[in-house]
Amino acid sequence: MQFQSTGQIAVDNVLIVDGIKLLPVVFTAVGNATTRGQWRGIVFSAQAKGFRGVGVEGSSIKHLVIRYAGAGNTAAMTFAKEQPLLDGLIIEAGFIGLLYQATAVTIQVGCASPPSSALLSDQQPT
């Protein structure tokens, strides 16, 4: 799936991505993007349902590759409250990989280009 520069996936309920290891789902920018931040990424609102256990309705992301997300220095994937099941997630060439925003703390997981090990940091909200 390809996204324009202002494109994003806004999740207010449930998002299911069900790729397989040998054939993952790919979310990327339109065209021949080669730089970070070409589209906005995935944003889970405070109303979105995170993973709550097997057989219970909630968001699940399996074998997804997110490329060139993070327009405007945003994260490739942002969680406002609950987070989905993440299995086989790869984030390539983004400004920030994952961003979890809670009332008291913000946690960022960095993203390198090309992909390498992630950086984890705690920051107080601004």
Q: What pLDDT is recorded for position 37? A: 87
Query: Domain range spanning residue 53?
Result: 2-123
SS3 73: helix
Q: How far apart are CA 106 and CA 38, in angstroms?
A: 23
Encoded amino acid at 63, one letter: H
Q: What pLDDT is recorded for position 122? A: 36
Q: What six digits make up the tokens of 87?
A: 């299995």
**Is residue 19's pLDDT more than 90?**
yes
Segment 48-73 mean pLDDT:
87
* Residue pLDDT, tens place only, 26-44: 999 998 877 888 999 999 9
Q: What is the residue whose two structure tokens read 């984030």?
A: 91
Question: What confidence category does residue 110 fall into, taking pLDDT thresholds of 50, 70 and 90?
Answer: low
Question: What confidence category does residue 108 fall into, taking pLDDT thresholds of 50, 70 and 90?
Answer: low
Q: What pLDDT is recorded for position 21? A: 92
**Is residue 77's pLDDT more than 70?**
yes
Q: What pLDDT is recorded for position 54? A: 74
Q: How far apart are CA 11 and CA 47, in angstroms?
A: 8
Answer with the residue of higher pLDDT: 99 or 10. Answer: 10
- Angstrom distances, CA of residue 78 to CA of 48, 54, 74: 11, 23, 8
End-to-end Cα spacing for the chain: 33
Our count of domains for the chain comes to 1
Q: What is the mean pLDDT of the chain?
A: 81
Torsion-angle region of 122 (φ positive above 0: left; ψ -120 to 50: alpha; else: beta) = beta
Q: What pLDDT is recorded for position 51? A: 84
